Amino acid sequence: MKKKAAELGIENIAEGSNTDDNGDYRPGLIAVEEQGIKSPLRYAELSKAEIRELSKQMGLPTWQKPSFACLASRFVYGESITKEKLKAVDSAEQLLFKLGFTQVRVRVHGKLARIEIPNGEFEKMLGCRERVYEHLRSLGFVYVSLDLGGYRTGSMNEVLEKK
């Protein structure tokens, strides 16, 4: 991005993290800082809820759009991340959205895809289980599981020691 920005004469690059991202281990925030990328929402000390409320007041159609973390956050620590793997995760999540799930994460643990959806949508998965399974298998996953803990942000960090 920095190379493209320089080609276009763009001096600064901004990203969309907010104050809610400060409370969890986010290696990407370290990279953002190291690269001199601007974080205007964190600088303005805005939370996700405040951003949604301001967006609603401004009449933006995206005010209640589900949050999307970087696809790299779907991979277990130590897993190599390739373009193909990123495309597989994106394809899996897009299918789940198409099937009507409101918030999804497909977490990658080697050949296992761990699906997180809101607890209230578990029954919906029963009606499309086979389609989801076959699609994820076609993407290269050997095992496909539903996380009984449901959707939650930062679940990949649950293996990290708390300080």
Residue-wise pLDDT for 126-157, tens only, equals: 999 999 999 999 999 999 999 999 998 777 76
Shared domain for 149 and 78, answered yes or no, is yes
* Per-residue pLDDT tens over the stretch 16-62: 888 988 876 677 777 888 889 999 999 999 998 999 999 999 999 98
Cα angle for residues 59, 61, 65 (degrees, 5° grid):
125
Shared domain for 110 and 45, answered yes or no, is no
Q: Given this model, what pLDDT does residue 161 score?
A: 63
- Does the pTM surpass 0.85? The reply is no
Task: State the Cα–Cα distance between residues 161 and 163, nearest whole angstrom.
Answer: 6
Determine contact, residues 136/113, Cβ cutoff 8 Å.
Answer: yes
Task: State the Cα–Cα distance between residues 45 and 58, nearest whole angstrom.
Answer: 19
66 lies in some domain: no
Range of the domain at 51: 2-57
- At 134, the amino acid letter reads E
**Phi (first) and psi of residue 45, to 5 degrees:** 55, 45
